[in-house]
Every structure is written in structure tokens, then in C-alpha cells.
Amino acid sequence: MTPRKATYSDEPTRVQQLIGEFLTGQSGTSVGADGLDVRLTAGADAKDDCAVYDLSSPMSLVVGSDYIRGPKFVLYEMGLLSGFDIGYYLAVANVSDIAAMGATPIGVLSVVRYPHEVDDAEFQEVIAGIHQGCTDCGTLNVGGDIGNAERIILSATAFGVCKPGSALMRSGARPGDLLCVTGPCGLLGAAVAYFPKRDTFEKALSDEVERRLLDGWKRPRARVAEGRILGTKAYATACQDTSDGLKATIEQIMHASGVGFRVVEEDVPVEPAVGMVADLMGVESLALSMSASSDFQLAFTLEAGKLEKCRAEFALAGLDFHVIGEATDTGRAESVNHLGAVRPLPGVAWKHQKSDISLLATGRVEE
């Protein structure tokens, strides 16, 4: 096999020759939904400084921004994730915040900074990942910024729209509301806990389980459809994605809403691969599942009387969720098991500690 010859173009050339194929045909696209008339009048293909949207009906504009290149990408440094993978993750991470507000994503602006040793093919791989992530989320990468930096730096801003007054907040939960989550959490945190220390464990996991751990990073999914159901149908009283981990998310909703939460431990879904990593680490599966991670499930609350209608609505769309507890008036986040034993929520919430995930899961934290 003949080695690929690396080429290194300047920024204008990369914009003109390497990015264009991902940006064609945007201008004039209708990007609204749910009766909201939104048209991308000038997209990135127009080659102007900004994208232009025509908004022809009353609506709320939802905007969120995330910088996601950092120590959590140790798996990229290890060669386990590609440039395409981290570009894809960038898009999904930003759209996930829009989904958690119950909004329809209408575009993503991305910032891609890279060191001089990143050649054209590597650069284009990142852009292709961003493009595919946006496509799979049902939206468009409408431009942004590229340029040099001391290392790869990825950031983005996502935009969404929803009907006025329908945006989902963290602050609407009330005592008696059910606490729900769209699926198991902790997979991405478990991957970061496992792979850097794989050689220190008594045995490695199977190839199939390792692929499952990496797939969480390679192809995460923003819960856009779930968020739209919760928002447009006014089912959720509060909602947030679990990108800081399930425990942190529950605590953030708790503080914003001024309530407490009691979680039923046996009702929290645990991904089998997370349980296997927890066994190797000698920690509780539930603790690792709820600890710092970068999953994009939705945690939400809803009135108990709306449970069956909401579940039926999800089922019609081929979706599901788990009821894992309820809001209380205690002001505390705690869990209870089938024996009735009550304790603080297991696991460690992500608070920008220096510690790696494996330390966080065991409660040993470097501030």
C-alpha cells in the first residue's frame, strides 16, 4: 500500500477546496418545524461573513455553545478516536443542548483550530465529522471559523427554535413530579475510566465490549425527537441533558427547581458495559453509571397524571424512557433501594475537577 502523501494548504485554500463539498446547497433551505417558518436565506455556501435566517412567524430562538476539546479526549490522544469522531462529537454535543430545551435545531457554527502538523486530509476528516454529525441531527453546519493553534481546539454554537413559551427549563420541577431519563448513562465515562488503565486491570474486556464503549464516543446521539415531544406537547416540567453525568444533572435540576429528588436505585438503567468496567475498577455499577460522563440522554420531570400519554407518544415515535424516581420537598438528592435504605445519590458529580473519571467514580477527587 502506497503511503498517502501529506499536503498542507493555507486557510483560504482549505476553505475554498476542502470544506466546500460539505456546505453546498444550503441557501434557501427550510429549516423550521412544528409550524415555525424558518428559512436559511444565506448559508455557508453563500460565502458571506454570517449566515442569514428569515423568521416569518413568532418563535423563541434557543442558542447554546460548547467548547469540547480538552482532557476528556484522552481517547483521541491514544489513537482510539479519529478526527472524524471528534468532529461528529462536537456537532452532537452542541445540538444536544438544543434538544434538551425542546427546540428544533436550525444550524451549527463551528470553530476548528489546529496545529501546523495537521495536514489537509486530517483537517478535512474533522470537518467531515462535523458535517455528518449535523446531518444525523437533522441540521446544517452553517459556517464558523478555522485557523492555527498550538493543538486541536474544537468549539461550536448551536441554534434552535421553538414555539414561544414552550422552551424546557431546569427550573420547573415540583414535588410529586416523576423523574425520568431516556436511557442508560455512564458509557462515555466508563470508556475514559477503562482504556487509559486497561493494562493495569487483571483482565481486559472482550473486543465486543470495548467496541461498545468506544461507540458511545464515536456516534453519540442528541435526543432531538425526544426533546420535541416533551416540549411541543408540554409534557416535561423540567429537562436537561446528561452531558455532565446523571448525578450532576439531577442535582442541577434540583437546585434550579428548589425541590429534592428520591431515586429508586433498581429503576435506574445501567448499561452492561458500564457494569463490566465497574467490576474491574471495584466500584458499584450504579455509582459509575451516575458519575461524571458525557452522555446525551435527557433527564426530565413530568406530572404523574401525564405519564401514560407521554409514554404512548414516545412509543408512537419508536422511543422510550425510564421512570427512576420522583421530586420531593426535602431539598435533598437521595436514593433508596428495595430494602428501604436511603443514602445520598451514589457516584461523583462532574464539577470541573482535575481528577480522571476513574478517581471520580471512587470518590477520590483532586480539586
Task: Kindly state whether residues 235 and 311 are assigned to the same domain.
Answer: yes
Cα–Cα nearest to 205, from 279, 292, 287: 279
Task: Tell whether residue 65 is among the known ligand binding residues.
Answer: yes
Task: Kindly state whether residues 102 and 232 are assigned to the same domain.
Answer: no
Task: Kindly state whether residues 215 and 158 are assigned to the same domain.
Answer: no
Task: Tell whether residue 10 is among the known ligand binding residues.
Answer: no
Task: Kindly state whether residues 141 and 27 are assigned to the same domain.
Answer: yes
Task: Tell whether residue 243 is among the known ligand binding residues.
Answer: yes
For residue 326, the domain's CATH number is: 3.90.650.10
Domain contains 118: yes
Task: Tell whether residue 215 is among the known ligand binding residues.
Answer: no
Task: Kindly state whether residues 262 and 329 are assigned to the same domain.
Answer: yes
Helix (H) or strand (E) holding 283: none
Domain contains 6: no
Task: Tell whether residue 97 is among the known ligand binding residues.
Answer: yes
Helix (H) or strand (E) holding 55: strand 52-55
Domain contains 353: yes
Task: Tell whether residue 356 is among the known ligand binding residues.
Answer: no
Show the DSSP H helices in 161-271 as ranges: 187-194, 207-218, 224-232, 246-257
The CA distance from 21 to 223, in Å, is 27
Task: Tell whether residue 177 is among the known ligand binding residues.
Answer: no
Task: Tell whether residue 335 is among the known ligand binding residues.
Answer: no
Q: Which residues contact 308 (CB under 8 A, 6 or more apart)?
A: none
Structural domains of the chain, count = 2
Domain contains 146: yes
Q: How does pLDDT run across 234-288, given as a tens digit for each residue?
A: 999 999 999 999 999 999 999 999 999 999 999 999 999 999 999 999 999 999 9
- Of 162, 195, 210, which residue constitutes the final position of a domain? 162
What is the pLDDT tens value at each position of the chain, 367 positions in all? 566 788 877 766 776 666 767 767 777 788 877 778 888 887 777 666 677 888 888 889 999 988 876 545 789 989 999 999 999 999 999 999 999 999 999 999 999 999 999 999 999 999 999 999 999 999 999 988 999 988 888 999 999 999 988 999 999 999 999 999 999 999 999 999 999 999 999 889 999 999 999 999 999 999 999 999 999 999 999 999 999 999 999 999 999 999 999 999 999 999 999 999 999 999 999 999 999 898 999 999 999 999 999 999 999 999 999 999 999 999 999 999 999 999 999 998 765 555 455 555 554 444 4
The model carries a pTM of 0.89
Task: Tell whether residue 294 is among the known ligand binding residues.
Answer: no
Q: Which domain holds residue 262?
A: 178-362
Compute the radius of gyration of the chain from its Cα atoms: 21
Task: Kindly state whether residues 48 and 97 are assigned to the same domain.
Answer: yes
Task: Kindly state whether residues 191 and 245 are assigned to the same domain.
Answer: yes
Domain contains 237: yes
